[in-house]
Amino acid sequence: MCRILTAVGEGFRMRPLVEALIKASQNDPYKAARGRGNQHKDGWGYVLVTKEHLEYYRSPKPIFEDEMATKLMEKLKGFSVLLLHSRAASQGGVNVFNTQPFSYCSPHGYQLYFIHNGDLIKDLLLEGLKLPKERFEEVSDSYLAGMYTSLFLTEIDDKEIVRRFALLKPVVRTSLNTGGIIMTPKKIKVFATAYTKEDLWEDENHRRYTQLLTFYGADLFAVMSSTLELYTFLPLDKVDNGTGFVISVDFDKENFTPRSYSLDTEPEELPGL
C-alpha cells in the first residue's frame, strides 16, 4: 500500500507536507511494523493545478530518488490543488502505467485525477465493469477503481460522490483511502475518502498504518497518510474511519470550502475556523 496527500490552498504551506511524504516513503515505521518493509519505492506522481496551468507527472522511480520531487517543492507557491502519491505495489506490475495519479476522461463531461491507498477485490471490480480478467492481469486494482468512478459518477454534486464511494465498500479488501480532482470547463472539486474494513480497523498496527490525517487552516486544507505525522511539526487531526471530504475550489477568489461526510449519511459542512 501507499502514501498519499491531497491538498488545497496556499502552495508554499504544502511544502512541509510534501517533504514529510518524501521522508515517510523512504522510511515508514508503520509499514515496517506490519512486516512489509519500510519503504514506498514503486513509483510516484502528482497533479498540480493552479489558475494558470495544470502539471501532471508520473515516474516508476522512488520519490526519494527522483530530482523531480525537489523541483515540485519549488513549484509550490500561490493558490493550488495538489494530489501526490507514492506507491508500494500490492497489485499490478511496477511500471509507469500503474503509477498514480491516474487520469480519466469521463463520458459524463469531466476530467478525473485519482489516487488510492489500499487493496480492493480486483475480480469484483472487473465483474462490475464487465471486463475480461485476462486482459487486466498486470493492471492495478486502483486503476480499475478510478475507471469505475469515471464511468459511474454521473453527477459531481456532493451527494452523488458520497453515494458512489459508498457503493465501492463491498469490494474493499483492506482500505479505500482515496483522493481526487474532478474538473469541468467551469468547475473544480476535490475529494478524499478514509475507509478501512472494520475488522482490520481493530488491529492496532493496521489502523495506525491506514488511518488518514487532516490539516485545516485558514489557507490550507489537506488529507494525508498517517506516517506523515512522524516527519512534520504541523498539528494534524485523525480522521474517523468511514469519513470523507468534498472540497469546492474557486480559483478566481482563491478560496475553498471543505465539507465532511460519512459514507452512510448526508454531507455536512465542516465547522468554520
| pLDDT of amino acid 268 | 55
- Residue 271 pLDDT exceeds 70: no
- Residue 86 pLDDT exceeds 50: yes
3-state secondary structure at position 105: strand
Query: Does residue 266 come out as left (phi exceeding 0), alpha (psi in the -120 to 50 range) or beta?
Result: beta
- Residue 72 pLDDT exceeds 70: yes
159-199 residue pLDDT tens: 899 889 999 999 999 999 999 999 999 999 999 999 999 99
4-56 residue pLDDT tens: 999 999 999 999 999 999 999 999 999 999 888 899 999 999 999 999 999 99
Q: Domains along the chain? A: 3-269 (3.60.20.10)
90-131 residue pLDDT tens: 766 778 999 999 999 999 999 999 999 999 999 999 999 999
Q: What does the longest C-alpha to C-alpha distance in the chain come to?
A: 51
| pLDDT of amino acid 264 | 81
